[in-house]
Amino acid sequence: MARMLSRDLPDIESILALNPRVKNHASLRSTTTTKKEKKHWKRNSDKNCSSCEKLENNFDDIKHTTLSERGALREAMRCLKCADAPCQKSCPTNLDIKTFITSIANKNYYGAARIILSDNPLGLTCGMVCPTSDLCVGGCNLYASEEGPINIGGLQQFATEVFSAMQIPQMRNPQLLPPEEMPESFHSKIALFGCGPASVSCASFLARLGYDNITIFEKQKFVGGLSTSEIPQFRLPYSVVDFEIKLMKDLGVKVVCEKGLGSDGMALNSLREDGYKAVFIGIGLPEPNRHKIFEGLTTEQGFYTSKDFLPLVTRASKAGMCGCRSKLPVVHGTVLVLGAGDTAFDCATSALRCGARRVFVIFRKGFTNIRAVPEEMELAKEEKCEFLPFLSPRKVISKAGRIASMEFCRTEQDEAGDWIEDEDQIVRLKADFIISAFGSVLSDPVVKEAMTPIKFNRWGLPELDPETMQTSEPWVFAGGDVAGLANTTVESVNDGKQASWHIHKYIQSLHGSAVAPKPQLPMFYSPIDLVDISVEMAGLKFPNPFGLASAPPTTSTAMIRRAFEEGWGFALTKTFSLNKDIVTNVSPRIVRGTTSGPIFGPAQSSFLNIELISEKTAAYWCQSVIELKTDFPNNILISSIMCSYNKDDWTELSKMAEASGADALELNLSCPHGMGERGMGLACGQDPELVRNICRWVRQAVKIPFFAKLTPNVTNIVDIATAAQEGGADGVTATNTVSGLMGLRADGTPWPAIGGGKRTTYGGVSGNAIRPIALRAVSAIARALPGFPILATGGIDSAESGLQFLHAGASVLQVCSAIQNQDFTLIQDYCTGLKALLYLQSLEQLQNWDGQSPPTPRHQQGKPLPKIADLVGKKLPSFGPYLEERKKILAEYKLKLKSTNDTIVNEPNEGKTYMAKKPIPTVQDVIARALKHIGAYGILDNKEQVVALIDEEMCINCGKCYMTCNDSGYQAIKFDPETHLPTVTDSCTGCNLCLSVCPIIDCITMVTRTTLYEPKRGVPLAVDPLC
């Protein structure tokens, strides 16, 4: 019997075993079975876990906030980019958070990093260690929604990490005079003590202001202060500190190690004698606050302060920190950590990595009084540290010269709110080691003597003005822990930032120079910011290729004025007409699209509008154009006009617009709704003959350039563009909106619905949803009419998408829907993004990057993965028993490294800087670059085939590739029922559908097929059809 062709073969049926099926009955399975099954698929920790993960010598990233590119893009898209954003008000360094998140969402990672580093020179450090839940995240408006606040710290870390991988140096503010021409005051000698966050911040801003004789004196052999010596590698790698110090040094700041206050005669008085005009003290609090009950105890007996313990841990785990190859401090058994701050929890989690079996964090007050940020406490809890509240240390019990236990008494809070110790409640805990983390102090008499003559407060810290960071000596400033105001790294950074401006004011006052009453600290600059993105088209010089389309963002000329002030290169007026054709709009008339599903808020992929042309008169627009061209002579202003098919009307209106001083005209021959019924817009633009004649009329009437705005609602847009060129147009705009009906409600009524009758009409669809249509139109016109100028519009929402249109043949880019989603400040992101995309093309070292996206490292949850298959020769997914096995393999690997005293972190890229080796392309250089790759189907080679390759280490086992291949493809992916690892079979045809639906970037790649591709014909070609 012949096989039924409409049935799957047995081997295909085997593949389809786990393919979804419609459920026809309720499921039945015992609780016992489910509990057993649950363990097999479980990805998070088992609450009943009796054995803890071995962490010894494992200093891999443990932060929950770390993001991959996929995670960063999804999170950035969630951000609302709020007006007067509360998150920004909660950031000590006043980061422009919504702007840098906007740049991340637009894949402009340099732009995001530039915004971050402009306000915070230690932006990467703070992205990793900031207590964001108590700062920016605490103010996020999405706290009021079900999905919760934005992971701001993770986004900040991601953007600055990508920029650090670009290895591009910081440079002086290009607006400054050359160093040799700067006023004498900017050559003043400035000293900073301590190379920690406060000093690095202060020095960076002073250097950006133009000061060129700045020296940081650091008493240690390494730089970075507490960021280096006391924050563990798994929270803050040394390469991060190295990166930020390097950026500071790019500006000429000098760092002298092993020289600090009180050493080698270094004192404030001697510095003054040496000609220093200002000093910043950022030495932190170098001595531990040591409780009297620990007097006489040593590390040999098992006692450490946090100031002893953490530097030992960091020296052994942070490659590049210093030249030594020291070993981790050896701890074992039970470790008691005393304290409730961030440092205490760093000690606790570090102790586990040094060999502790159990760690107890003990503190005097309750959980609600813990000073540490929730992120730190949660990590310690996940790593099975135990918390013991309401205990105050009384005495240490030693046996045979070693710590054996410790005695505590219970604490309670009385009705007045005071904490008291109850001597009747005594608790004794066995211990092998004790780590005291009771804070730090400034107690070294030599250092304090070197700070003479500044005055000290009752806490033994310098007296200072909290607004200016100025001490009792006007030329001496302080910040960070030593100033007594900062409790976190980011607050220390802000102390240095605050002090830099007031040091600047002080030094300028010495030279009789006034400074702006409002602080004006320079932004971060790199060679990317010098890239020229101006472009010429039709004899017009555009300062940048981004402009406002004739649309709602140009409803009034006051809006255009604001857009020019923000930096937009050009703008079109809202389309206007003669008074006899004046319109009145209906409402509602602009609605969100349904093309991305139920997404509410910004980030709409489309809008539909039934808005007509401007309700304002031609007289208003012409007078406003005169005003705008007077105030913005370098910006291009194009008047958008519309008439019916009448030569006199087009002649009159075009001459009126030219007389107002417009740089060019756009002839709106394409409005898809409303105006066509009046014989205008689309009614003219769909007929090549009408387009040709209208262009001829306008060409006869005016001398300035004009462009015909084309509709995509035609069979062949090239015919319309050709007609415009033949009529004398200087170029075309491609394209206007696509005619559509966005949606109908469940009761059959439309949206937008006008009036009591709930009537609607077909409207214009705009936004990213029509980008493929617009790209096709632009490239088709550019191929057919080489060199004919094209103004692109339709789905331009970033520098990356703008570059696509330039590659397709456009010269300048009109934007509307993206602004409707956000605001005019987008232009900053677009300009920095385009500059970065052009600059990176000149770096040979980054040729494997896709724009600003680096190659995706093998990862899960944003954290790099070791390839388990390389360690044990087999592939394991990351859930259930396989996850436990992975952890065990990794723990053994880390211990093996420890036994060989080998480092497990990468060396920082110290001294490595990437500079442009090839010419940086201009905008003109990239126009139409893609056209050589676009053509008819017949040019495609069906002999160069590819197949899918799945990276099983990155796979999250969702099976989306498997399902789409089964029900929409070629049944070429097997799905293991136990491991849920997908495997591509020889039946793969390289269709790319699996890659298209895979949720993990680069988990699936398409690689060259190594065997001959033979299509499955179903039946042999020689067989005649039966039908």
List the catalytic residues: 671
Structure tokens that stand for 815 in this block:
């934007």
Residue 574 phi/psi, 5° resolution?
-60, 140
How many helices, marked H, and strands, marked E, lie in the chain? 32, 35
Q: Count CA within 13 A, CB hemisphere, residue 97.
A: 32
Structure tokens that stand for 205 in this block:
């801003």
Where on the phi/psi map is residue 94: left (φ > 0), alpha (ψ -120 to 50), or beta?
A: left
Angstrom distance (rounded) from CA 190 to CA 271: 10
Structure tokens that stand for 132 in this block:
């964001």
Using the structure block, give the residue that is written with the tokens 């769909």: 686
Angstrom distance (rounded) from CA 47 to CA 384: 10
Q: Which residues contact 44 (CB under 8 A, 6 or more apart)?
A: none
Cβ(433)–Cβ(351) below 8 Å: yes
Counting Cβ atoms within 10 Å, is residue 1025 exposed (0-12), middle (13-18) or buried (19+)? Answer: exposed
Q: Which residues contact 790 (CB under 8 A, 6 or more apart)?
A: 731, 732, 733, 734, 778, 781, 782, 809, 810, 811
Q: Which residues contact 190 (CB under 8 A, 6 or more apart)?
A: 203, 206, 211, 213, 214, 215, 276, 277, 278, 279, 280, 503, 507
Q: How far apart, in Å, do the first and last CA atoms of the chain sit?
A: 20
Using the structure block, give the residue that is written with the tokens 């202001």: 209
Structure tokens that stand for 777 in this block:
């139109």
Structure tokens that stand for 403 in this block:
């710590």
Angstrom distance (rounded) from CA 226 to CA 342: 12
Cβ(657)–Cβ(620) below 8 Å: no
Angstrom distance (rounded) from CA 869 to CA 953: 9
Q: Is the peptide bond before 903 cis (omega within 30 degrees of 0)?
A: no
Where on the phi/psi map is residue 555: left (φ > 0), alpha (ψ -120 to 50), or beta?
A: alpha
Q: Which residues contact 793 (CB under 8 A, 6 or more apart)?
A: 549, 733, 734, 735, 736, 774, 813, 814, 815, 816
SS (H, E, C) 261-320: CCCCCCCHHHHHHCCEEEEEECCCCCEECCCHHHCCCCHHHCEEEHHHHHHHHHHHHCCC
CA–CA distances in Å: residue 113 to residues 69, 102, 120, 140, 692: 14, 11, 10, 20, 49
Cβ(341)–Cβ(437) below 8 Å: yes
Angstrom distance (rounded) from CA 192 to CA 617: 63
Work out whether strand 419-430 and strand 402-413 pair parallel, antiparallel, or are unpaired. Answer: antiparallel
Angstrom distance (rounded) from CA 339 to CA 372: 9
Which of 776, 754, 775, 772 minimizes the C-alpha distance to 763? Answer: 754
Cβ(186)–Cβ(164) below 8 Å: no
Structure tokens that stand for 198 in this block:
């406060």
Residue 256 phi/psi, 5° resolution?
-115, 115
Residue 537 phi/psi, 5° resolution?
-150, 130
- DSSP state, 929? T
